[in-house]
Amino acid sequence: MKIGFIGLGIMGRPMARNLLKAGHEVVCYDVNKANVDDLVKSGATAAVSSADVARQVPLVITMLPNSPHVKSAVLGEKGVLEGAKEGLIIVDMSSIAPLASQEIEKACAAKGVRMLDAPVSGGEPKAIDGTLAIMVGGDKDLFEEVKDVLLKMGSSAVHCGPIGAGNTTKLANQVIVALNIAAVSEAFTLVRMAGVDPTLVFDAIKGGLAGSTVLNAKAPMMIESNFAPGFKIDLHIKDLDNVLDTGHGVGSPLPLTSLVREMMSTLRADGFGQDDHSALARYYAKLSGTKIGK
């Protein structure tokens, strides 16, 4: 299949590469020309705008930072709808506000364009190896139509309900991930301050009830003081802002999420917004004067 891909950042580029490896043709666009040039080296074809992408393909995938970027790419000048033919499918794999997904889908439907929201979890490592968890909202039959394509980028793709349900599921995921990272940071700061080796503690607890994908991925980074981004603090702040906006809208209490959001704000103010979200360990180092790692 010939597939359009808009948004070639940390996540989008490896996802598009996996489509190429699976034998699909990819027509790509990004506001950063260097990202486009890099993917062209892998076999993709460059487009000059989002509209240009849409003119050439039956399926467009978008992978962009936040709601305004998706609205601009789809609804704006030289956007997808400007170049879309009736029947075009848009799969937005960005992590955005559920209400924004619903608004964009409504504008698409008015032009005969079908849309799913399909955010992902797993960060850059799983984007590279094609094992992302994909959460999908929208028409169930349309999901079945594109599921095989999604599974070239992920190890699972689950239909979660109507449009917006994918992003609601992603928000829940981001709450759990953020709170887990904060808990790991807090626990390992305690360990270090008590004079116990964090590496031995990690080995001892990872097979028990405290074990998790978050622990396995983030504790070693904290122990090595390696905060090279797989998923940046700034992006997690964006997601938690969407969580809080959605929670306020539906009346859901989010006291722990609010606290971790403020911790991340402190890190951003200290210049660490581009660090991996495992840099929550830096917040505890600031409070305690003790680093978990080296």
Whichever domain contains 238, its CATH number is 1.10.1040.10
User: Residue 123, exposed/middle/buried by CB under 10 A (0-12, 13-18, 19+)?
Assistant: buried
Q: Which secondary structure element, helix H or strand E, spans residue 144, and what is its range?
A: helix 140-150
Task: Give me the chain's average pLDDT, please.
Answer: 97
Average pLDDT rounded to a whole number, residues 185-214: 97
Whole-number Å distance between alpha carbons of 168 and 66: 14
Instruction: Express as a percent the part of the chain with pLDDT over 70.
Output: 100
**Structure confidence by residue, pLDDT tens digits, 11-44:** 999 999 999 999 999 999 999 999 999 999 999 9
pLDDT band at 85 (very low <50, low <70, confident <90, very high): very high
Q: Residue 151 domain-assigned?
A: yes
Pairing mode, strands 59-62 and 89-92: parallel
**Structure confidence by residue, pLDDT tens digits, 102-119:** 999 999 999 999 999 999
Helix, strand, coil percentages, rounded to 5, for the chain: 55, 15, 30
Average pLDDT rounded to a whole number, residues 264-270: 98
**Residues 235, 90 share a domain:** no
pTM for this prediction: 0.90
- How many domains would you assign to the chain? 2
Nearest to 91 by CA among 180, 167, 184: 167
**Residues 175, 155 share a domain:** no
Q: Which of 131, 162, 193 is the last residue of a domain?
A: 162
**Residues 275, 129 share a domain:** no
**Residues 205, 132 share a domain:** no
pLDDT at residue 253, as a whole number: 98
* Other Cβ atoms within 10 Å of 289 Cβ, number: 8
Q: Which of 132, 162, 192 is the last residue of a domain?
A: 162
Extended strands (E) in the chain? 2-6, 25-29, 45-46, 59-62, 89-92, 114-117, 120-121, 132-137, 154-161
pLDDT exceeds cutoff 90 at 294: no
Q: Which of 142, 162, 182 is the last residue of a domain?
A: 162
**Residues 137, 25 share a domain:** yes
**Residues 52, 153 share a domain:** yes
Whole-number Å distance between alpha carbons of 287 and 267: 12
pLDDT at residue 193, as a whole number: 97
Residues 6+ apart with CB under 8 A from 21: 152
Nearest to 254 by CA among 198, 164, 160, 178: 178
Q: Residue 180 domain-assigned?
A: yes
- Token pair in block for residue 138: 């929208």
Q: Residue 37 domain-assigned?
A: yes
pLDDT at residue 122, as a whole number: 87
Q: Residue 72 domain-assigned?
A: yes
**Residues 116, 178 share a domain:** no
Q: Which of 170, 218, 232, 238 is catalytic?
A: 170
**Residues 92, 10 share a domain:** yes
pLDDT at residue 183, as a whole number: 98
Q: Residue 294 domain-assigned?
A: no
Whole-number Å distance between alpha carbons of 174 and 93: 15
pLDDT at residue 157, as a whole number: 98
pLDDT at residue 230, as a whole number: 81
Whole domain around residue 74: which residue ranges?
2-162
User: Which residue carries 């964009």 as its tokens?
Assistant: 104
Average pLDDT rounded to a whole number, residues 222-239: 93
pLDDT at residue 185, as a whole number: 98
Domain of residue 100, CATH code = 3.40.50.720
**Residues 124, 71 share a domain:** yes
**Residues 260, 243 share a domain:** yes
**Structure confidence by residue, pLDDT tens digits, 144-175:** 999 999 999 999 999 999 999 999 999 999 99
**Residues 271, 146 share a domain:** no
Q: Residue 75 domain-assigned?
A: yes
**Structure confidence by residue, pLDDT tens digits, 269-290:** 999 999 999 999 999 999 999 9
Is residue 218 annotated as a catalytic residue, yes or no? no
**Residues 34, 56 share a domain:** yes
pLDDT at residue 202, as a whole number: 98
Q: Residue 293 domain-assigned?
A: no
